[in-house]
A and B are shown apart, each in its own frame.
Chain A
Amino acid sequence: MIAIVDYGVGNLFSLCSSFAAVGADAVVTADPDVIRQADKIILPGVGAFGDAATKLRESGLGEVVKSEAKNGKPLMGICLGMQLLFEKSYEYGEHEGLGLIPGEIRPIADVIPKDLKIPHIGWNPLRFHRESPLFKHVKEGDCVYFVHSFYAANCDDALLASAEYGAELTAAVGRGNVYGCQFHPEKSGNVGLSILRAFCEMEVTSC
């Protein structure tokens, strides 16, 4: 069973439907016990980093997700959920994230030419940086759907894939059993579903 963590941000209808479409048993939950019992965890999110980080902290769900991930349970953050995996964000101030992936979240505006539109919105091809089980059913150049104004910087060897938008923007990250996608796999057609399917096929790693 896959636990989709519901900490009060965003709409999880499409995410839920997309797991159903790949034949996975996913539940939307805010119950720490359900998250602990799950085989895998999805950390979703839309909106502002500061708000979301506060909600994660105040609900106690951030700590649950973090300790489960540290026990080797596959975890994937999506969009803002990916950004929350990082140490820090500079989205309107300075906010602390879960610190599961090295690096920080910064405005796209800092790195792209002025004439490009923000947010980075639309379909953009993936460029792979490292091999990953997350991409076992997709290939380099496959397009995925992005909507974001901030990006993950300085991810070091956690960088799995990027997309070109006046600069190489982080598209996916991974470290051990922790993964993150800046794009929306649940809105990226068959390519997105294939990435979710690959995540569903992962096993708990022992550490």
Chain B
Amino acid sequence: MITKRIIPCLDVKNGRVVKGVNFAGLSDVSSPVELAKYYSDHGADELVFYDITASAEGRQLFTDILCEVARTVFIPLTVGGGINTVDDFDRVLKCGADKVSVNSGAIRNPALIGEAAKRYGDQCVVLSVDIARVDGTFRVFAKGGRENTGMEAIEWIRRGVDAGAGEIVVNSIDTDGVKRGFDLEMLEAVCNAVSVPVIASGGAGCIDHFTTLFQALPKVDAGLAASIFHFREVEIKDLKAELRKNNIPVRL
């Protein structure tokens, strides 16, 4: 039986891991290579790296670090941030990434999803969506959650999957950084709309939040979080032991 995945997410800027609360007020945490190794050794099922660097130098630094991570860590690696073209896919896949996550790049150019899926396969293309409620509807936000695109989120995700996205990361802006649990209502709406794996992101504050997530929504495939893992508030080993105790299949 396939196990539920626990995925730490590392936001990388100028070669260092940072994590913002509600996408603002970034603080330096640690080295990406050290953290990646630590997580891999302690039960992470996959790692996500978001490159939040804007400069070309920063991008090169990120690519170098990604290569170093892929040389030392042997679990699936997903890379996002600054992915705007098929060449960007190529750049990170050559460094050892297994999947590439698109967000704003796909909003600017929706054809990117299909082009990348055709060249690298659906399993390689992850559509990451930042979603917030606006007047009672789910809306897609761009530019790290700062800009309301006006697009209806479920419709956007459906289009993405039709075009070839093989996995969806649902990041709820409404619950991100608040640590009161995942956005179950939003996740359920996405799970009911698509048949590809759905990764929940935004809102995890403790072990119970993951248990609730997988019990309430068996269709969710993975839970993603950042700061609670980086600051060792939740150890992945403890989290997985607790999930197994609740009969949720995990890799120990």
Q: How far is the CA of A156 from the CA of B93 in the complex (A)?
A: 36
Contacts of B123 in A (CB 8 A): 119, 121, 147
The A/B interface has a contact count, at CB < 8 Å, of 75
Q: How far is the CA of A74 from the CA of B193 in the complex (A)?
A: 46
A-contact bits for B208-223, CB 8 A (1 contact / 0 none): 0000000000000110
Q: How far is the CA of A18 from the CA of B94 in the complex (A)?
A: 15
Which residue of B is nearest A142, CB measured?
Answer: B251
Q: State whether the Cβ of B76 lies closer than 8 Å to any Cβ in chain A.
A: yes
Q: A117 and B94: CB pair below 8 A?
A: no
Contacts of B71 in A (CB 8 A): 17, 20
Contacts of B196 in A (CB 8 A): 117
Q: A124 and B1: CB pair below 8 A?
A: yes
Q: A122 and B2: CB pair below 8 A?
A: yes
Q: How far is the CA of A143 from the CA of B240 in the complex (A)?
A: 14
Which residue of B is nearest A186, CB measured?
Answer: B74
Q: B74 and A117: CB pair below 8 A?
A: no
Contacts of B251 in A (CB 8 A): 123, 125, 143
Q: A188 and B74: CB pair below 8 A?
A: yes
Q: How far is the CA of A149 from the CA of B169 in the complex (A)?
A: 21
Interface residues of B (CB under 8 A from A): 1-3, 5, 40, 45, 67, 70-72, 74-76, 93-96, 98, 121-123, 166-167, 195-197, 221-222, 251
Q: A123-B2, A123-B3, A125-B3 are in contact. List 17 more A-B contacts (CB 8 A).
A: A13-B67, A13-B70, A14-B96, A17-B71, A17-B96, A21-B72, A46-B121, A117-B221, A119-B122, A119-B166, A120-B2, A122-B5, A123-B45, A124-B1, A165-B1, A187-B76, A188-B74
